[in-house]
Every structure is written in structure tokens, then in C-alpha cells.
Chains A and B, each alone.
Chain A
Amino acid sequence: MTGQATDRTTVPRRSGRPNRLTRNLSAKIASIPMMLTAVVIFLGGTLWTVLYSFTSSKLLPRLRFVGLDQYERLWAAPRWLVSIENLAIYGIFSLIFSMVIGFVLAALMDQKIRFENTFRTVFLYPFALSFIVTGLVWQWLLNPEHGIQSVVRAMGWAGFSFDPLYDSGIVIYGILIAALWQGTGLVMCLMLAGLRGIDEDIWKAARVDGIPMWKTYLFVVIPMMRPVFVTTLVIIASGIVRVYDLVVAQTSGGPGIASEVPAKYVYDYMFQAQNLGQGFAASTMMLITVAIIIVPWAYLEFGGGRKRV
């Protein structure tokens, strides 16, 4: 019995173990597109862009290194500073509002209401639409001559002013309204899934203990939903950094440069102004922004060796 077992493990080793490379060969061949994408595009492309952000490339990429010149120029450009400021305002408000609105809607939807599916359909349909469509609809709704402002004025409130798209001070809020319209349905869905994932017995226990509903939400349910909140946060945040189409459609960055955003800065410098170095530096800054959001999250979620509590 024992002899046989040793035989079984030793004999194949002696008679030539299958080649390391040809083992599982089909799987490896089938994975070639994935390997290429991962290594050439995602890894190689990112490194390439970062590398060329230190060069003076203009119309064509050239390896003429100029140190941090491009970054200095970037952080001195008024348009980039406006872009960053816009991104910060847009980012903070869009995080707060989409979380709050999304959670409140989800909590309301979780009250065993009637027509739940209808409400869900209504809240979520804008998410199926592109940012271009979203931007154009809200451009029309916020049109000062025909849109909401003119309707309210026509109702007799002549002094009413709501003209975000043509007022450089508040234009970013006009974009925010459109973005919330498009995206809060998704947050609601994620939150609702989180609420539904909470053990029914917890609600029962809280009721037997006589804990009012709002306190149960605040002290029990929301802390329990921490992972859902974190995931949602990451999703919203990485979407915020990318905001581009919406601005292009709604304002094209105007009035003036009042609603510019980093992603648009990158595109314009790479493909319009033919100043590749600036585009690469700006996109590297975007990468750093994302890393600041993602790395702590990834560390908390997957690394650190600590189990989630």
C-alpha cells in the first residue's frame, strides 16, 4: 500500500514532468488578450504617460526630458486651477448630495411601500442615459430664456433669477444638478441592496427593545452598512474624477473657462492644442488624485491583514 503510493508520486517525476509552459496551455493561449491588455495597455500605457509627462513633447511624443517643467506650467495655468477648483466643489457636493439623497430614497423605498418597482424604475432611468443626453436636457431646462427661470418669472415672480449655465460663479452647480439627476438612482439602488442585506432579526430586535426607527437607522443600520457606503463612495469618487462628457455637452467649459474640469483639460491639450506634455502632466495629476482615493480604500478593504469588522 505504502509502496504503491510512493511509486505514484515518484514515477511521473522521473519520466519527465509535463513542461511548465505547456501545462494548461489552452488556458494560457486563451488569456493572451487579457495579458496583453493588462501589461501593454494598463501597465505599459500608464508608465508611458507618466514618463512622457517629464518631457517637452508638443505635437509628437519626444523623449526630451525637462524635469518638472510641465507640472510647473500646469499649476501656473489659470485654466488648470479653475479645473481643479471646479472638481473639488463638484466632487464634495456630489458626494454629499448623492449619498444623502440616495440613502434617504433607499430608506423610503425600504418601508414596504406600494409601487416599489415603479419608483425604482423612475429613479433609475436617467442612469441609462448618456452624459451627453443628460447634459443637453439640462442645458435646455436651465436655458434662461425658455427654461425654469422664464417659467417662474412668467408665474409673476419677475425678479427670480436661476441662470447657472450663464453665470460663471455658479455654473458648476448647474452641472451638479444634472449629474445628481443622472447618478443618484444608482446610489439609491446600491443603498437599497445594502439595506435589504441587513438581517431582518436586527429590525425585530430593535423593535422589541423599543428603539425608535430613526435611532435604529442612525446607530445600528448605518454603521452596519459601512462596506456599502465605502463601495459607493469609491464608485462615485472615481466617476467624479472622470467627469468630462457632461461638461462638454452642457457648457463646453463655459462661460469662458468657468466650468472647465481636469479631464477636459487633458483632452484639449492632447488632441486640440497639440501640447502633449501638458496633457500627460495633467493626466498624471488625475492618476494621482484617483490613487489618493483608491489606495487607502484598497488597503482597508483588502490589505492590512485585518479582517473587516
Chain B
Amino acid sequence: MSDRGHLKKTAHLAEVPASWESGPRGARPRRLLSTRTIVVYGTLFVAAAYYLLPLYVMIVTSLKGMPEIRLGNIFSPPLEITFEPWVKAWSSACTGLNCDGLSRGFWNSVMITVPSTAISIAIASINGYALSNWRFKGADIFFTILIVGAFIPYQVMLYPIVIVLREIGLYGSLSGLVIVHTIFGMPILTLLFRNYFAGLPEELFKAARVDGAGFWGIYLKIMVPMSLPIFVVAMILQVTGIWNDFLFGVVFTRPEYYPMTVQLNNIVNSVQGVKEYNVNMAATILTGAVPLLVYFVSGRLFVRGIAAGAVKG
């Protein structure tokens, strides 16, 4: 770009020798590599390397055989690519309890994540809708408790929930964990939906009421169809959050229902047997794959979701 500017300038000078036109003309010349550019891109690339390195090491380690890992360094690409570790991680790696790999944890996580996401979003969106369009006396008090509650460390509420779940006979079951995820997802999701619905033009709501639609009619026929983006954001938030959960999985389920993260930790940190780093890394990638996939597919919406959900910690 600056080159073209220069060419133009000289050509013009040759044609019009008028003295007052002889000064700077056209685009300001810019050196391709100014100090500023070097500093900016240099820093960014170094930072990018720091962020990418672990992913790279995970992948190359998972593709190496154990002898190669013991001899070589963790950064060198595999001399001989093997998918053995991946197969083992998925189907036959041992935790302290069993040896059927991560696959069990994967399906447990699916069975936890799908209903938890659906139910928590359904309840929170209705909360948000009631709070923004059908305010009743006292509603804001509950909402305030909810939002303050988002900051309370989970540890404070763990045992009371254990008691409640035990009372209703759901402690240790998948449904119990679904309820826990619904509870702890509620503050941030309710806030998200309340703010979104409050931003929709109030005239629409009024018009629908004049047309005779009631609480559920307006919610299902007007609000939900208008709010698909925020539902997607909420879904991203919940799927990654619930998939990545460890604490609730450990506390509220029996070992046969352990989600993938717990299973992974048990495989990698199991004290029995020889450490198989390649299998461990393959297992780690497998566990991270679902949220990563969500992240890469959703892009900008993910950023919006985490910005909203950051409060969740």
C-alpha cells in the first residue's frame, strides 16, 4: 500500500512541477515493520504460543508410544503415530474401581448434561419471563436472594442439599444431580433471561395481552420464538458448565454414575499400575473435546455466554 503511494507521488511530481504541490502527498508512508508493529505482533505471538503449547503437547503425547515418551522430550512430534492410547483411554483404561475406560463416564455425562441443560433453561427462562413481564409483589426479593446466592461458595450449600435429596430419595442418582445443576444454574440463567426479556419491546407484550393471550400463551408463542439467540447462549453456557463440573459429580452421584471429569481424574490420578502418559493425555483430550467442540462451533456466541456467565465463576 505504501509502495503504491510512493509510485503515484513520483509520477505526479513529474507531471506537475508546481512548487506548492511538492510536499507530502497521498497516504502517509508507513514502514511495514515499525517498532510498534513488531512489539504488538511479537507479544501476541508469544502469548499465543503459551496458550497453544499445552494443546500441542497433549496431542503429540497421546499419539506416541510409551517407550518414545520415556526417551524423547514432550515437545517433539511423534516418530511413530499410534492410536492405541486413544482406544485404550476410551474403552479399557482403569480407574480404581473398574477397567472400562472413559466411555462409561462419557455416557454418564451425556445423560447428566442433556436433561440438566434442558430443565435448567426451561425453568430459568420462565423465571426471567415472570420477573420482567409479570412482576408480582415479592418477586424481586426472591430474585435478589438468587443473585446474592450466586456468590455463595457451593461448599456452604452442599450438605443441606445432600439432606434434601436424601429425604426425597434422590441422593446418589442421576436425577438428583440434574436437580443440583438446575439449582446452581438458576441465578445466572435467570439474570440472563430477565435482562433479555426486559430488553424486548414492551408494546409486543401489551399487544399480546390485548389480543387475549395469557401467561403461558405469551411465553410460548411470543417470547420464546423471539429469543432464540439467548436460548442458544444459555445452552452453550450450560452444556460447557455442566460437562466440566467435577464437584457436584463427586458429591451427589454414586461411582457408577460418575461423570466424565470424575472418571478422567480417577484414571489419571489412580495410584495403581504404571503411569501411561499417552493414555492419560488421550483421555484428557477426549474429556475436553465436547466443550472445545461447542466453543469452536459457537464462536462469538460463546464469548457472549461466558461474559454473561462469568459471575458463575
Contacts and interface: CB of A to CB of B under 8 A. Distances in A.
A101 B251 CA distance: 35
Interface string A141-154: 10100111011001
A196 to B, nearest CB: 12
A286 B156 contact: yes
Contacts of B40: 108, 111, 113
A123 interface: yes
B301 interface: no
A99 B277 CA distance: 34
Given A33-B123, A113-B40, A126 B51 contact: yes
B269 A252 contact: yes
A218 B130 CA distance: 44
Nearest to B283: A136
A140 B41 contact: no
Interface stretch (B7-15, B16-24, B88-96, B238-246): B238-246
A26 B215 contact: yes
User: Counting chain B CB atoms within 10 Å of each CB, which of A37, A44, A109, A124 scores highest?
Assistant: A37
B277 A140 contact: yes
A105 to B, nearest CB: 6
B48 A151 contact: no
A181 B159 contact: no
B292 interface: yes
B160 A49 contact: yes
A34 B127 contact: yes
A239 interface: yes
Measured as residues with beta carbon below 8 angstroms from the partner, the interface class of chain B is 35 or more
Contacts of B310: 186, 190, 235
B44 A235 contact: no
Given A140-B61, A140-B280, A248 B246 contact: yes
A23 B136 contact: yes
Given A140-B61, A241-B153, A249-B265, A39 B73 contact: no
A25 to B, nearest CB: 8
B215 A190 contact: no
Interface stretch (A11-19, A163-171, A264-272): A264-272
B43 A39 contact: no
Contacts of B58: 137, 140
User: Counting chain A CB atoms within 10 Å of each CB, which of B126, B155, B164 scores highest?
Assistant: B155
B146 A37 contact: yes
Contacts of A125: 51, 55, 292, 295-296
Contacts of B47: 101, 105, 123
B246 to A, nearest CB: 4
Interface in B153-175: 153-161, 163-164
B284 A136 contact: yes
A30 interface: yes
B26 interface: no
A238 interface: yes
Given A122-B51, A128-B291, A146-B69, A283 B156 contact: yes
B274 interface: no
B159 A279 contact: yes
Nearest to A27: B134
Contacts of A97: none
Interface residues of A, number: 92
Contacts of B129: 30
Contact of A270 (B148, B158, B264, B292): B158
Contact of A132 (B57, B127, B287, B302): B287
A93 interface: no
Contacts of A216: none
B74 interface: yes
A30 B36 CA distance: 57
A133 B287 contact: yes
A159 B265 CA distance: 32
Given A49-B157, A105-B47, A287 B292 contact: no
Interface string A225-243: 0000000000100110110
B99 interface: no
15 contacts: A27-B139, A34-B190, A109-B44, A119-B44, A124-B302, A128-B288, A136-B265, A136-B280, A140-B277, A235-B313, A238-B313, A239-B313, A242-B155, A245-B246, A252-B269
Interface of B: 36, 40-41, 43-44, 47-48, 50-55, 57-58, 61, 69-70, 73-75, 123, 126-127, 129-131, 134, 136, 139, 142-143, 145-146, 148-149, 151-161, 163-164, 182-183, 186, 190, 214-216, 240, 243-247, 250-251, 261, 264-265, 268-269, 277, 280-281, 284, 287-288, 291-292, 294-296, 299, 302-303, 306-307, 310-311, 313
Given A150-B73, A266-B155, 4 more contacts: A46-B156, A121-B299, A140-B74, A146-B69
